[in-house]
Amino acid sequence: MRAFVRRLTFACILLPAMLAAALAAAPDVRVKMPNFGSLAEKASDSVNITLDSALLSIAAGFLDSSKPEDAAAKELIAGLKGIYVKSYTFDKDYAYPSADVDMLKKQLSAPLWQRLVGVRSRKEQANVDIYMAIDQGSANGLVIIASEPRQFTIVNIVGSIDLQKLHRLEGKFGIPRLQLEEKK
């Protein structure tokens, strides 16, 4: 009888607790994007993409595996859980709301997030920050914050990312050549 009570206690209390702990341990690498309402109003062109896992799988269904570029894209998104992009293009130089960018950057703190790249270009007047979420030795999140005089972009990729796979897509779908190999 006691053994039964112990098993019941384990089943009713410990198992849900362990499950909750496991869920809590799984890092959430989807960042909360600022609204950027003022940017959207002033932008001449804006891109707002929200692709969760359901939409990614629908999109994958419409990629033709017999075409090399589609097959590469399909392979790239296989491990992804979401892609979220906000990009605003302006007709003239524009000062971006630093408070919104700061709020975003506060979410990208160590130890989960590591800043891989943080560059300021005097020539192009561009600032680019690339953050990667590293969990148990593998990259499972990416954030790019790029601000140029006439364009402001935030990309958040959720899931396991292989930049080499993205590299295979360069020159396709209008994706520029990344020259990643030269970096080696």
Binding site for another protein (CB under 8 A): 47, 49, 51, 55-56, 58-59, 61-63, 73, 76-77, 83, 85, 87, 117, 119-124, 126, 128, 130, 144, 146, 148, 153, 155, 157, 163, 166, 169-170, 173-180, 183
What SS3 class is residue 110?
Answer: coil
What SS3 class is residue 28?
Answer: coil
CB of 52 to another protein, least distance (A): 10
CB of 174 to another protein, least distance (A): 5
Phi (first) and psi of residue 157, to 5 degrees: -110, 130
CB of 102 to another protein, least distance (A): 19
List the beta bridge partners of residue 183: none
Determine contact, residues 131/115, Cβ cutoff 8 Å. yes
Q: Which of residues 42 and 120 has its CB atom nearest to another protein in the complex?
A: 120
Q: Which of residues 10 and 173 has its CB atom nearest to another protein in the complex?
A: 173
Kindly provide the residue ranges of all beta strands, DSSP E only, lying in the chain, ordered along the sequence.
45-52, 80-89, 113-121, 126-135, 138-148, 151-159
CB of 41 to another protein, least distance (A): 20
